Structure 1
């Protein structure tokens, strides 16, 4: 019997354990993801790379098991690893946007998964704090390279809303810190 819409639950399977990701995160989560996705989609127009937002399973150990995660945002450039609703290659860039239910996994287990898989750049974004942590893979280990907390009041010391963030592997793609958190109060 097919699932009814109200029976649908979003899940991830990590180390054989199924994590229920329902109910959905609050609206700020979606706003931030949409803001980043829009900049990436625009930047990759005409490219072989594709950007996915919350809708593609990443099967990171396909040769060992059927575990998968669903990154909030994922950029892939090797399309031969796209099959159905899953990707089995190495993404070039991943963003996880924190919500109370997933924050611990995003900062620990999933960060380790992406590091071990060889994902070059990983962002952890907090809509609540309006903060971005940017990790680069260096010698097979993630190194926190940048950490920003949006200060968009021009009267305050540390104003940084116009700070430009550039993707390391894709220097033609940039976004201002204020663009990531546009419409997030």
Structure 2
């Protein structure tokens, strides 16, 4: 069995070549290509319902664009480049320039990750730090098992807790003060 060489860092070009040739989802984090497991059907249902509610609000008010996985979000440049595929992404209309043909090239305004047992620690710790470093304004962690939504907002250089929403507690967002999502509509 071979041992990976920690001095080898993959580039964005390596990542794109692998993704073009593979029938899997991957992310590029700190020069390492990480396979992302396929989501469960429950994960997909929750993602679909939440995206539907967000998309309706965004379209009704002409606020920007909403994307769902798999879409590459490219953060940083050169050897510090990270590539993630969040479950749901929102880019505000005034920042539409970061939306390119192949990827979103910069920090979205909102990133949503639906938690799975196999990725929860990764989403809670590592990705949260990456999103803060590159300026994601809001980060939502959606937990199907507990039927809760945790909202984090960017304050200075950190994503800080804004609230945990469950049952009939409306999810509120600084991005859309006029939107109140009922978690029961999502779970």
TM-score, with structure 1 as normaliser: 0.82
Q: Confirm or deny that 1:33 pairs with 2:53.
A: no
Query: Structure 1 segments of 4 or more deviating over 4 A?
Result: 63-66
Whether contact under 8 Å (2:30, 2:81) holds in the other structure is no
Distance 1:48 1:132, change over 3 A: closer
Q: Name the structure, 1 or 2, with higher relative contact order (CA <8 Å, separation 6+).
A: 1
Task: Decide whether the 8 Å contact of 2:99 with 2:105 is kept in 1.
Answer: yes
Q: Number of paired residues?
A: 167
**Structure 2 counterparts to residues 14-93 of structure 1, below 5 A:** 14-22=29-37, 24-45=38-59, 47-77=62-92, 78-93=95-110
1:170 and 2:172 aligned: no
Structure 1 stretch displaced more, 97-106 or 55-64: 55-64
Deviation at 1:128, TM superposition (A): 1.3
Alpha-carbon distance in 2 for matches of 1:65, 1:117: 11
What runs of 5+ residues in structure 1 fail to find an aligned partner? 151-160
TM-score, length-normalised on structure 2? 0.81
Return 5+ residue gaps in structure 2 as ranges. Answer: 1-17
Tell me which protein shows more helix as a share of its residues.
2
